[in-house]
Structure 1
Amino acid sequence: MKKPEAVRRHLPTSPFKARTEAPRKHFAVGDRVTHDSYGLGRVIGVEGDTAVLVDFGSRQERVVQPYAGMYNL
């Protein structure tokens, strides 16, 4: 006989925060973005879910997943 698997559920009144994954960021060609280090730019290429190529005016940078510091405008 198998043991039942423990199910952990988060109660809204719990003082502990539930562990949730951050929503994945999605970018498409032509999107305007801002990056904490490089500034404003436009997405010029998408490599699946692994990386995006962004034109920041003076330079082009390949930014890889999890796209830390980069946000859609």
Structure 2
Amino acid sequence: MTKPPASRRHLPSSPFNVPAPPALPIEQFAVGDRVSHDQYGLGRVSGVEGDQAVLVDFGGRQGRFLTPFSKLVKL
């Protein structure tokens, strides 16, 4: 029969006890907003699906982007 592993002590002076950085607020988009994307370029928001997704028209190409919108910038 094997023993369960002993729990490790975490020292208060450990450099790994750094608190997590606060979450950044999610960018809010509305239909008609002008946006820029790193790969696709300039576009216009054609639809918003709540806080989950944004539909963007880039001229001849459409894209659907999920949160977080890391490469999508509102102009």
TM-score range, shorter chain: 0.7 to 0.9
Query: Which residue in the other structure is 2:40 paired with?
Result: 38
1:68 correspondence with 2:70? yes
Structure 2 residue 24 is matched with structure 1 residue 49: no
- Provide the C-alpha distance between the structure 1 equivalents of 2:20 and 2:62, rounded to a whole number of angstroms: 38
- CA RMSD after TM alignment: 1.5
**How many equivalent residue pairs?**
58
Q: Which runs of 4+ in 1 moved over 6 A?
A: none
Q: Give unpaired runs (5+ residues) of structure 2.
A: 1-17
- Give the TM-score taking structure 1 as reference length: 0.72
1:72 offset after TM fit, Å? 0.4
Measure how far apart 1:17 and its partner are. 8.0
- Distance in 1 between the 2:36 and 2:20 partners? 29
The structure number with the bigger radius of gyration is 2
Secondary structure of 1:63's match?
Answer: strand
Whole-angstrom distance in 2 between the partners of 1:48 and 1:34 = 20
Point out where structure 1 has 5 or more consecutive residues left out of the alignment: 1-15
